Amino acid sequence: MRVALLGALTGAGGCAAVDADSGGAAEIESASELAMEAAPGTIEFGETSVGETYAEAFTVKNVGLNAITITAVEVGDAALSVALPAGAVEPGDEIELTLVWTPTEAGTLREQVVVEAAGGSGAIGRATLDVVGVAEAAKAQLSATIVDFGYVNVGCSASATWSISNTGPLDLVIDSFSMEEATGLSLGIDGAGPPPLPWAIESGDNMTFTLDFTPLVDGSVATSMNFTTNDTDKPTVAVPVTATGIVQAYGADSFTVSRQRVTVLFAANQVMLQSNSLLLRHFPTFVETLQGEGIGYRVALVHSTDGRVAGSTQYIDDTMDADDATEALEEMAAGATGDNDYLLQTLASGIYVNADWLLDEDPEWAESKLNLVGLNTDMEQSSGDYVSYVTEYRTYKANSSDIVVHGIGGDVPRGCTGSPYTAEPFQPFSDAAAMTGGVFLSVCESDWTAHMEALASACMGETGRRFALSQVPQSWSLRVRVDSVVVSSGWSYDDDDNAVVFDPETPPAVGSDVDIDYVVAVTCD
């Protein structure tokens, strides 16, 4: 469609005259000096997106007798623009102009474009073209305008879920996200961690945000989640976040480090006490390991089913050096005959007949940790099962954890071969060790240095290293001080026993003061 533009000629004398007798021919002749045609009559942009730039061309043709110049193009919307051409348009020629639309908001465009041209005589002509189009945009709709967690117990967690929906026809694009640093807050999106930006939400869809608050200290938190989107109405969205962590109770426990005394009763089959005995050969290592901890200990060996200690020395203690202790053990082993495969029963007899120095001499020995060690290359043949014997042993102590069974025998379940021993499986002692927290060692190893170190350490256990707490803590809140100095490593928390346990390599010294404070655990909803 073309639009003809006829501009009235203007001059110094006013409007052009029209001769009535000529039927208007003079006007037509004069008007032909300034005549244009524009095409198309309606410029259609169709469906567009806010923020994008679109261009549509139209032409202006000089159908008059004289050259014309496009002097102006008037547009009714600031989002529309046309660049004016340079130079004149000769009669019969046409020029192309470009109408540019950069919509800034969603809606329907219905405007007019007015093209103004001038002739050489100063005449001016105008023409109007229609412009139509539709601008579409994404629309962000928030399900919440603030996230308020209220009060949350320190160590517990609370979650808040909200969403951004796209109610517009185009994809909503979230270009950036930021949240001022706030301790205890973490953001998840659609059930996972935030994906890389940008985030796109299709028309009619939404993105679900989950904000978790896990306070580690008491106090308030105030921040905001900030989003930048392509929603022209709401290009930035800020969602305030408020929360308060509270501590219900603090706990504090103090200890002075001491070492629980240790008693050890060995029961051995006679073959373990012969001239090639690895027990006798490596016993100095066992003694030196005990001495290294500076604790009080008593050790004895029995090989007869009556549980009596042979020789003139009733027990070995921490007053003896390694040589004297080994000499005393050799005297206890001397004269061992027979084939005693009833070591569970032998240990039960041994506790009973040696109760005066094992249990009853004074309260400190009564509260000592009693270790029962069986050594054999044959199967255990005591009547009854290991559980009944462990139950009997435990009747001698107020604290059942002070009874620990250890074994050195044939591997379970098939036994073992080695030098100088080949052995049958020592199943009951393996089971009793597992039941009481003891160690079970293979009798077929040729070098017992490591065995004796491990056995001595197991006999001492964690005495002086384990500190039971009076209340259950939030484990992350534990603060440990030794003689008023904060210790941040070398210890761990045992949640099964609710105790702080120092590593074997870094026990606090005897006499040290250990202070442990913490946030008391609460039941979280």
Got the DSSP string for 195-258?
PSSPEEE-TT-EEEEEEEE--SSSEEEEEEEEEEES-SS-SEEEEEEEEEEE---EEEEEEE--
Cα first-last separation, the chain: 73
What CATH number is associated with residue 31?
2.60.40.10
Rounded (10°) CA dihedral 499, 505, 510, 512 = -70
User: Which residues, at least 6 apart from 172, have a Cβ–Cβ distance to it below 8 Å?
Assistant: 138, 139, 140, 164, 166, 200, 201, 202, 203, 229, 230, 231
- Among candidate residues 61, 115, 124, the one with its CA nearest the CA of residue 90: 61
Backbone phi, psi, residue 357, to 5°: -100, -20
Final residue before a domain boundary, out of 223, 247, 271 = 247
Tally of domains in the chain: 4
Same domain, 275 and 326: yes
What CATH number is associated with residue 288?
3.40.50.410
Q: Which residues of 423-451 are buried (b: 16+ CB within 10 A; e: fewer)?
A: bbbbbbbbbbbeebebbbbbbbbeebeeb
Instruction: Tell me the average pLDDT across 445-453.
Output: 92
The whole-number pLDDT of residue 123 equals 79
Residue 58 lies in a domain: yes
Same domain, 39 and 149: no
Query: Comparing 355 with 509, which gets the higher pLDDT?
Result: 355
Final residue before a domain boundary, out of 136, 169, 203 = 136
The whole-number pLDDT of residue 438 equals 95
The whole-number pLDDT of residue 294 equals 77
> In 10 A of CB 235, how many CB atoms?
13
Question: Residue 28 pLDDT more than 60?
Answer: no
Report the C-alpha gap between 20 and 160 in whole angstroms.
86
The whole-number pLDDT of residue 360 equals 83
Instruction: Tell me the average pLDDT across 350-377.
Output: 93
Residue 289 lies in a domain: yes
Final residue before a domain boundary, out of 420, 437, 460 = 460
> In 10 A of CB 313, how many CB atoms?
17
> In 10 A of CB 119, how many CB atoms?
22
Residue 427 near residue 380 (C-beta atoms within 8 A): yes
Instruction: Convert the pLDDT of each residue in 227-246 to its tens digit.
Output: 999 888 888 988 899 999 99
Same domain, 359 and 374: yes
Same domain, 299 and 441: yes
Residue 191 lies in a domain: yes
Report the C-alpha gap between 369 and 364 in whole angstroms.
10
Coil/strand/helix, residue 69: strand
Same domain, 75 and 99: yes
Residue 374 near residue 436 (C-beta atoms within 8 A): no
Same domain, 426 and 364: yes
Instruction: Tell me the average pLDDT across 249-272.
Output: 92
**Can you give the three-state secondary structure of 160-173, one letter per residue?**
EEEEEEECCCCCEE
Residue 499 near residue 469 (C-beta atoms within 8 A): yes
Q: Specify the pTM.
A: 0.50
Residue 524 lies in a domain: no
Residue 411 lies in a domain: yes
Instruction: Convert the pLDDT of each residue in 65-87 to its tens digit.
Output: 888 999 999 998 889 999 999 88
Same domain, 86 and 175: no
Of 10-14, 51-55, 459-463, 502-506, least confident by mean pLDDT is: 10-14
Same domain, 395 and 353: yes
HSE-up (13 A, CA, CB side) for residue 495: 5
Numbers of helices and strands, H then E, in the chain? 9, 35
> In 10 A of CB 68, how many CB atoms?
29
Residue 221 lies in a domain: yes
Range of the domain at 49: 3-136
Burial of 331 (0-12, 13-18, 19+ CB in 10 A): middle
- Among candidate residues 233, 180, 177, 235, the one with its CA nearest the CA of residue 207: 177
The whole-number pLDDT of residue 463 equals 67
Same domain, 59 and 86: yes
Same domain, 206 and 289: no
> Mean pLDDT for the chain?
88
Got the DSSP string for 283-301?
HHHHHHHHHTTT--EEEEE
Residue 525 lies in a domain: no
Same domain, 298 and 364: yes
Instruction: Convert the pLDDT of each residue in 133-178 to its tens digit.
Output: 999 988 999 898 899 999 999 888 999 998 999 998 889 999 998 8
Containing H/E element for 325? helix 322-333
Residue 507 near residue 466 (C-beta atoms within 8 A): no
Same domain, 449 and 471: no
- Among candidate residues 283, 276, 281, the one with its CA nearest the CA of residue 420: 276
